[in-house]
Structure 1
Amino acid sequence: MAKVALIEPRAEFNGYALFRLPLLGLLYMGTILKQRGHEVVIFVESIHPALDDRTGRLDPEVESADVVGLSGMTCTVQRAYALARRIRERNPRARIVMGGPHVSFVPFEAQRVADVVVTGECDRRIVEIVENPDSLQGVIAGDSFVDLDSLPAPDLGLIKGLRNIRWVPIATSRGCPYDCRFCSVTKMFGRRYRLRSPEGILAEIEQRLGEGHRRFFFYDDNFGIDRQRTQQWLEEVVRRGWRFRWSAQARVEIARDEELLRLMARSGCYYLFIGMESVNPDALRDYRKRQTLEDIRSCVRRLHRAGIRVHGMFVLGSDSDDEGTALRTVRFCDEEKIDTAQFAILTPFPGTDLYRDMEAQGRILTRNWSLYDGTHVVFEPLRLKAIELQRQFLWAWKRFYRAANLKAFLISRYLLGRWQALNRKFLSALQAWPARSLDEV
């Protein structure tokens, strides 16, 4: 049996990465491999590093692994490449496997440092990679279709250094039938919206409750699209008398069904993360959101009537945004009494229509992928200077949380200060651009 180390690299420059909620992909793979008798450890680097940057030493369980798997989102992929190179130096016999959204769209990059690059899903493909090492090399296609009910409940004990977890991630679906211009989900999974059965969802919740967990984040790309199925398992949660709190990410359409909202509240939902994206109608059309400003207002008010708090998620930097967009966004949040908000900078991730269009227009400022985390300007805006958009982003965070409760105020100021400390060189380069290159940050 093989010794396998799976690594979720940390983001280099994202000072807003405070909350340690592990992604599910490596957990599914690790659990499947463990069930087949392999020795597995998972490194979520925001919890426990695979590489000590101060000493340059790899964790002993990485240095002795037969197979090392690295998952790469765009903002973490350069860290993943650096880890792969270090692993090659210290553990040359290890088979290095890379996957994830970024390398699925830019596999030739990962080929330089990995033995196997998997495009697409890898939940079950990983078994063949580990158990038949001579049969697969280079860039390979992942699983063509994964039945979500066939996946085991993730074994959280595989995560090194995890002593307690405040929110347990659970997936009830995968994919999204929509096609927002800045999103890579449909490019990665297609527009197939796959569902777990109510029985499978309830079984995992029951297991987690038995382990003592009482807070769950439903890690769906878009929660509650299938109303009938959602209603079915939520009603069973209420009928069984289970007591826990949960939250999820959803579109504004979920609030059109007030009966469902009341059921969600009764089952323990107390917070929804809503993709509002913009208060600029032209930006909503440009993003292909298929929603209006009135839809957003109605969503917030209905959620509040149901007793569910609202976390509004906004994206700044569309081609129709100007110097007043951040101010109008924060005013909207105040007027509608949005409980908490997060502001992101429009980011052209490889694989998206947005990236294709901006690349064709020559507007990409850098391919320093570590900056592609939603907190850095990496493209040339149409109606603003890049440094002005960056300042709008920072101002929106500071302004929205000026009158928040003390805890939220202190957390936001801490995160803002940490981001600025990590990004002094970036801000200086952006201020001087194009005289200075962002690739050197």
Structure 2
Amino acid sequence: MLSPCPGTGLSYLNSYLQMNGYDSKLYDFFFESWDYVEDILIKENADIVGITCLTEGRNNSFKLLSLIRRIKKETIVVFGGHHSTYMYDQLIKSFDIDYIVLGEGEEKFLNLIQAIEGKMPLESVGGIVYKKGGLVFKNSMKDGDFIKELDKLPFPLLEENLHIFTKYPSLKELHPKQVKNIPPEVSENGRVISIITSRGCPYNCQFCSTTLFWGKRWRFRSPKNIVDEIEYYYTHFGFRYFNFADDAFTIVPKRAIEICKEITNRNLEIYFDCTTRADTITDELVKWLKRAGCLFVALGVESGSRKILETINKKISPSSVIKAFRILKKNDLSAYPLLMVGNPGDNDETIHKTILLMKIIRPYRVSISKTTIFPGTDLYDLAKKQNFINDSYWLTPKPPLLYTYENSFKTMERWAFEIENYDKKLYELRILRLKLRVLGFLSNINSLTFKKRILSKRFMEIMKKYIRFIF
């Protein structure tokens, strides 16, 4: 899977530290060699180094830590990120890490630096883990430790990191089908930049760890502040494509509409995509999304089985998915479902219901992932109770574990293939219909007649030969 753009979390943190007077630099080592990383560490000779530790990339974080210790052992190393937040006890005891920042980082990291400088007691810094006298201490993370007014955070400073974006895929490489109707200078040469418009989530899906990291209370930026950031990137750096990186951008439809209105009122010729929930889709919302430049919407559908949706605590229904796709299609806004196979309780019957749902909503594509276990999720707690996994797994170099307690990897592969194969057949059918219409074959053929004929094996063989000859 291609990563659309550099991560945003450290960008906001870097700007926040600079705003508060600290000489902070941001490096993205995703595409770099270890020799390059070593050269940078020697060149910068930093007093404090912060490292993002994500579950899927944790071993690279550990390798970076070892490299820092070899180059300059006295460097203060601070870990942050999702994996650090959920597995802090294991990390602080197993590795030579000085501090761990839990969850949202801006204010905590700033306070930690000030505590290291002796400007405030270390014990007063909420949401951190550290070692002292051979013992591990955790300063509790309370709701008050989360930033309430997100508008006060500075925008990421791109001047010194603009070159990073050239290493990431172009929009055309990421979404070849969706970019056909936008200017080539945007699709072929343009890069994607992500914006986070809110933090926290009022939901608690079984497979997701968002609430533990960002908090259960949904906090949001104002539409003006969001579009100010968009305009800043647009005017100063020429960015014209944006990814709203929220888990559910339209969680409050009225607010999303206000953001779209702010974009259109400023006459910003931009394009964007977003991910959201099916039960937030309304006719008015979709009209404004399209008007503001939305190219497509990804909907977290997960399954077509009501039973599975209840099991994973998704709090949507298949009927809400059907309704959402009807609204999106009516307004000619592309959308596709994000699906999962291998959820607890999944079987051939539940997968069949997912396929039936796809036949009803008829998306232009589907995105399918195999259910994967991550720390900090209810699914992880379930898997531990089943003795399917334990914390020691994360000290191995293995990737995040698929939930194969109930169904094998081979079964998940088959289910994914069945759904994907349906999608390919649907796409081929649409292309065939389009070509037949161009050739004039469908002018006097109604839809029912077409479906009957299209199922004829002989008809398909004849038409494939004819179309191959013509095209």
Instruction: Give the TM-score normalised by structure 2.
Output: 0.73
Match of 1:122 in 2: 105
Match of 1:219 in 2: 245
Give the aligned residue type for 1:80. Answer: S
Range moving further from structure 2, 220-229 or 133-142: 133-142
Work out whether residues 278 and 301 of structure 2, in 8 Å CA contact, stay in contact via their aligned partners in 1.
yes
Query: CA 1:73–1:396 in 2, change beyond 3 Å: closer, same or farther?
Result: farther
Match of 1:428 in 2: none
Please say if 1:237 is aligned against 2:237: no
Structure-2 separation of matches of 1:331 and 1:90: 58
Larger proportion of helix: 2
Match of 2:48 in 1: 67
Match of 2:468 in 1: none
Give the aligned residue type for 2:4. Answer: R
| SS of aligned partner of 2:49 | strand
Matches within 5 A, 1:5-20: 16=1, 18-20=2-4
Give the aligned residue type for 1:79. Answer: N
Work out whether residues 151 and 222 of structure 2, in 8 Å CA contact, stay in contact via their aligned partners in 1.
yes
Q: CA deviation at 1:334?
A: 5.2
Give the aligned residue type for 1:268. Answer: G
Match of 1:155 in 2: 157
Q: CA deviation at 1:232?
A: 2.3
| SS of aligned partner of 1:168 | strand
Work out whether residues 52 and 80 of structure 2, in 8 Å CA contact, stay in contact via their aligned partners in 1.
yes
Structure-2 separation of matches of 1:189 and 1:300: 29
Give the aligned residue type for 2:101. Answer: V
Query: CA 1:370–1:401 in 2, change beyond 3 Å: closer, same or farther?
Result: farther
Please say if 1:93 is aligned against 2:74: yes
Work out whether residues 101 and 109 of structure 2, in 8 Å CA contact, stay in contact via their aligned partners in 1.
no
Work out whether residues 28 and 151 of structure 1, in 8 Å CA contact, stay in contact via their aligned partners in 2.
yes
Structure-2 separation of matches of 1:370 and 1:251: 34
Match of 1:309 in 2: 334
Alignment partner of 1:288 out of 313, 320, 339: 313
Work out whether residues 270 and 307 of structure 1, in 8 Å CA contact, stay in contact via their aligned partners in 2.
no
Work out whether residues 218 and 249 of structure 1, in 8 Å CA contact, stay in contact via their aligned partners in 2.
yes
Give the aligned residue type for 1:85. Answer: S
Alignment partner of 2:293 out of 253, 256, 268: 268
Unaligned runs of 5+ in 2: 123-129, 132-137, 167-189, 429-471
Please say if 1:320 is aligned against 2:349: no
Please say if 1:381 is aligned against 2:382: no
Q: CA deviation at 1:60?
A: 2.2
Structure-2 separation of matches of 1:200 and 1:126: 23
Structure-2 separation of matches of 1:79 and 1:160: 23
| SS of aligned partner of 1:260 | helix
Matches within 5 A, 1:31-180: 31-46=15-30, 48-49=31-32, 52=34, 58-63=37-42, 64-111=45-92, 112-133=95-116, 136=122, 137-138=130-131, 139-140=138-139, 144-146=145-147, 147-159=149-161, 161-164=163-166, 166-180=191-205
Match of 2:444 in 1: none
Range moving further from structure 2, 28-37 or 134-143: 134-143
Structure-2 separation of matches of 1:197 and 1:343: 33
Percent of aligned positions that are identical = 25
Structure-1 separation of matches of 2:254 and 2:25: 38
Range moving further from structure 2, 281-290 or 70-79: 70-79
Q: CA deviation at 1:396?
A: 4.9
Q: CA deviation at 1:330?
A: 5.1
Give the aligned residue type for 1:153. Answer: F
Unaligned runs of 5+ in 1: 1-15, 406-441
**Number of aligned positions between the proteins:** 379
Structure-2 separation of matches of 1:245 and 1:160: 20
Match of 1:8 in 2: none
Matches within 5 A, 1:383-402: 384-393=407-416, 396=419, 400-401=423-424
Structure-1 separation of matches of 2:151 and 2:427: 41
Work out whether residues 252 and 280 of structure 2, in 8 Å CA contact, stay in contact via their aligned partners in 1.
no
Give the aligned residue type for 1:144. Answer: D
After superposition, give the CA deviation of every residue in 1:18-43 in whole Å (9 maximum; x if it has no partner): 12322221111111223344443323
Structure-1 separation of matches of 2:386 and 2:61: 29
Work out whether residues 270 and 308 of structure 1, in 8 Å CA contact, stay in contact via their aligned partners in 2.
yes
Instruction: Give the TM-score normalised by structure 1.
Output: 0.78
After superposition, give the CA deviation of every residue in 1:152-197 in whole Å (9 maximum; x if it has no partner): 1112344484144621111211111111111111122331000111
| SS of aligned partner of 1:19 | coil
Give the aligned residue type for 1:156. Answer: L
Alignment partner of 2:384 out of 359, 371, 376: 359
Structure-2 separation of matches of 1:157 and 1:367: 40
Aligned residues: CA RMSD: 2.7
Comparing both chains, which one has the higher relative contact order based on Cα–Cα distances under 8 Å and sequence gaps of 6 or more?
Answer: 1
Match of 1:343 in 2: 368
Give the aligned residue type for 1:69. Answer: G
Structure-2 separation of matches of 1:132 and 1:158: 28
Match of 1:437 in 2: none
Structure-2 separation of matches of 1:91 and 1:241: 51
After superposition, give the CA deviation of every residue in 1:280-315 in whole Å (9 maximum; x if it has no partner): 221111011111112112211211212211131111
| SS of aligned partner of 2:345 | coil
Q: CA deviation at 1:403?
A: 6.7
